[in-house]
Amino acid sequence: MKTLFRRIGAGLVGLLVTGAAIWGALALWFTLPAADGIRVTLALAFVVLGAGGLLIALLRRRLIVPLLPFVGAFLALLGWWSTLGASNDRAWQPEVAMLPSAEIEGDIVTLRNIRSFSYRSETDYTPHWYDKSFDLRQLDTLDLIAVYWMGDAIAHTILSFGFAGEQVAISIEARKEQDEAYSAFAGFFRRYELYYVVADESDLIGLRASYRDPPEDVYLYRTNAPPERLRHLFLEYVTKIDELNDRPEFYNTASTNCTTNIVMHIQAIGPRVPLSWKMLASGYFPELVYERGSLDQSLPFDALHQQSHINERARAADGADDFSRRIRENLPGMP
């Protein structure tokens, strides 16, 4: 029995060291502000230190002493990791250069730095930012936008708030620095800041449907949330946008992203939404919302999904002043 417990303990220690070595190597590679060669060297050295400690422990049948160097290195890594802080002061890419903010005076909410770029290609565009005031008493619709670019399981989700026909869309994204590309793996390791894009639909949807190469598949759904709930949700978004001005946060691929933050905001204004794997597999999030009864129920979801595809509409309406109206014409649930 003693031998069995010892083997179980050794197995658990082996799993912990292996997991710590992999996490530490990835953290060094994705987050350490150093040249590629230095990051590779340190990441490999960290793995070798853990693997070597485990091998010596196995050969000598002693768990503690051979692993002490790795434990020390891992504690030092955690100490460095704890010093990393999000910031609003970096050399940002142009499309995320301006941080949105909001002012609330009674029922009037003024949004600043709304993005409205004119695109000629994904990388060739004319930047434009503006401020606009919205009357909360006119907030009457909420639409869910799902954008697919790598299969059915993964989608980028956007909410679009309608004020008597005028739309303002909010997309929760990773804020990237100049010459920095997005990586889902890097998003686990404090590589990007959290960023709320407040924009025209012609920008957020037009970019993805018409100018990404290859184009991404965009679906637009009308929710049936009551006006009072919409008001609370919009104000929850506005509050978060202002908080990020004062207290920047890191984006995280798993826990702080375009879909989980939507759920977080919904949780804050009403009954708790039961956890579901479809919140993590974001491509199925619209189906989850449908199952909760919050999308048009006159069609089965497969038919609703098919009819909600708007790429052709978006391309036809590109550059039009009434872009938002044209992409909605005759969609399910939209008068």
Give the pLDDT mean for 105-128. Answer: 96
Domain locations along the chain: 2-82, 94-328
pLDDT of 197 over the 90 cut: yes
- Give the pLDDT confidence score for residue 272 in this predicted structure: 62
- pLDDT tens readout for residues 32-82: 998 999 999 999 999 999 999 888 888 877 767 888 999 999 999 999 999
Angle at 239 between CA 234 and CA 241, to 5 degrees: 95
pLDDT of 4 over the 70 cut: no
pLDDT of 5 over the 70 cut: no
pLDDT confidence bin for 262, thresholds 50/70/90: confident
- Give the pLDDT confidence score for residue 255 in this predicted structure: 86
pLDDT of 3 over the 80 cut: no
- Give the pLDDT confidence score for residue 11 in this predicted structure: 78
pLDDT confidence bin for 270, thresholds 50/70/90: low
**Phi-psi domain of 179 (left: phi exceeds 0; alpha: psi -120 through 50; beta: other):** left
- Give the pLDDT confidence score for residue 271 in this predicted structure: 59
- Give the pLDDT confidence score for residue 239 in this predicted structure: 95
Give the pLDDT mean for 271-287. Answer: 81
- Give the pLDDT confidence score for residue 245 in this predicted structure: 95
Closest CA to 147 of 169, 117, 115, 121: 169
Return d(Cα 82, Cα 186) in angstroms, integer.
Answer: 17
CA atoms within 13 A on the CB side of 20: 22
What percentage of the chain exceeds 70 in pLDDT? 96
What percentage of the chain exceeds 90 in pLDDT? 76
Beta pairing partners, 135: 108
- Give the pLDDT confidence score for residue 72 in this predicted structure: 95
Q: Mapped to the 3 state alphabet, what secondary structure does 281-297 carry?
A: CHHHHHHHHHHCCCECC
- Give the pLDDT confidence score for residue 22 in this predicted structure: 95
Distances (CA, A) of 169 to 39, 116, 158, 220, 307: 38, 11, 7, 12, 21
- Give the pLDDT confidence score for residue 124 in this predicted structure: 95
Return d(Cα 194, Cα 243) in angstroms, integer.
Answer: 11
Give the pLDDT mean for 219-227. Answer: 93
Give the pLDDT mean for 119-127. Answer: 95
pLDDT confidence bin for 2, thresholds 50/70/90: low
- Give the pLDDT confidence score for residue 144 in this predicted structure: 96
Give the pLDDT mean for 102-112. Answer: 96
- pLDDT tens readout for residues 156-184: 999 999 999 999 999 999 999 998 999 98
